[in-house]
Chains A and B, each alone.
Chain A
Amino acid sequence: MIDYLMKETEDGKIVVRLNGDLDIDSTEIVEEELLPAMEKYKKANIDFENVPFVDSSGMGLLLNIVQSLKEKGINVTISNVREDVQVVFDLLQIPEILGDETFI
């Protein structure tokens, strides 16, 4: 089960620290809570340091978050992706789909 911490930085950026596996059980939390909450800011960063596993549904959720926010003109970045998870991101070529600049 995933949970998250949100913290606003001084320059108005929202930093979301995810905690737990990003998988099919995260669907409601992401779509109903997290995404609407992030839409209130101009800039956002999602910290993946405490995400040990992302399944295909989680990958879909991530694509949905980033693409929805970008469509609304919100700048989104992703940081601290663990090596295991990065392997799956690379296999699916997530950086190419979301733009290399998304990963910091």
Chain B
Amino acid sequence: MYKDGMTGIHHNNTGESADMDKTLKREINMARNIQSQLLNGKPPVFEGGEVLGSSVPARLIGGDYFDFYPLLNGKIRIVIGDVMGKGIPAAMLMILTRGAFRSAAETTSSPADTLTSMNQALYSDLRTLKSFVTLLCADWDPSTFTLTYANAGHNLPLYIKGKESIVEEMPKVKGIMVGGLPDQVYTNYTIQLHEKDAIFFYTDGIVEAQNNEKEQYKLDRLIQTLIENKQKCVGEIEQSVMESIEKFTEGAPQRDDITMVLLKISDQQAEITSLNSPLIK
């Protein structure tokens, strides 16, 4: 009798834990779908260039974030961010960050103001939760070919020059990560871009990707890959970077979320030529 009772309890436990596994798995998959659908909305379409973002989480879901927000004045506001940590907790804070960005983007006139407003909105929550988010926010103005950006502790984007074989970090702009200190005022910096130039925004999961020998992918390899593929369209550049990282890591487990956003200015000359070409024929 007694023994049977024990067996019964044992069975029950296994049953409950299997049920829990199944429920948990289902919920994680649903959370993953929510996140990937929110991240992978349609990138905005605009004259004279193209943008694209992609994110590969290290676990089932991740804490990296990117977003595009077309402004009424024709500019495109771009943001990329990295929430501290990984997995489900980071994903929850990523959604919080997205909400703060979307409402700040609507009401603020520059990337610096957006970051100031986001820090204002998120600081006390992030302090309570002992977390933080690094963010880089930029406005692309297709009418003047200028990119204005502000930084909250994030990696500087890379400037891929269209007419030279040069890829370099954009000029340094300082700023404390969101959730780091209260009442922060961020600074805008503007650069002039030219035809065929591209900007590569990314998170540290790329340069810190490790192979089995514990070597990191590093900035140099990223720059080399970008130089080799810079003439391609944004989708192909993104693929080349992913392939290069995969080749380097040789199947070693991905340690951190990998995210990139590409902005590329089209070759206006080529576009005009191709438009005219039927006439020339």
Contacts and interface: CB of A to CB of B under 8 A. Distances in A.
Contacts of B255: 55
Nearest to A59: B84
B130 A93 contact: no
Contact of B85 (A53, A57, A91, A96): A57
Interface residues of B, number: 22
B259 interface: no
23 contacts: A24-B85, A53-B208, A55-B208, A56-B132, A57-B86, A59-B132, A60-B85, A60-B132, A63-B130, A63-B132, A64-B130, A88-B204, A91-B154, A92-B134, A92-B153, A93-B174, A93-B175, A93-B176, A93-B177, A93-B180, A96-B176, A96-B181, A97-B180
B197 interface: no
Nearest to B257: A56
Nearest to B127: A67
B131 interface: yes
A56 B84 contact: yes
B82 interface: yes
Nearest to A61: B130
Contacts of B204: 56, 88
B114 interface: no
B139 interface: no
A93 B154 CA distance: 10
Main secondary structure, interface of B, reads: loop
Contacts of A53: 208
A91 B153 contact: yes
Interface of A, secondary structure class, is: helix
Interface of A: 24, 53, 55-57, 59-60, 63-64, 88, 91-93, 96-97
B124 to A, nearest CB: 14
A60 B130 contact: yes
Interface of B: 82-86, 130-132, 134, 153-155, 174-177, 180-181, 204, 208, 255-256
B86 A92 contact: no
B208 A91 contact: no
Given A56-B85, A56-B134, A59-B84, 18 more contacts: A24-B85, A24-B86, A56-B82, A56-B132, A56-B256, A57-B84, A60-B132, A63-B130, A64-B130, A91-B154, A91-B155, A92-B134, A92-B177, A92-B180, A93-B176, A93-B180, A96-B181, A97-B181
A70 B189 CA distance: 35
Contacts of A92: 134, 153, 177, 180
Q: 8 closest Cβ contacts across the A-B interface?
A: A56-B84, A60-B84, A92-B153, A57-B85, A97-B180, A64-B130, A93-B176, A92-B177
A13 B256 CA distance: 36
Contacts of B154: 91
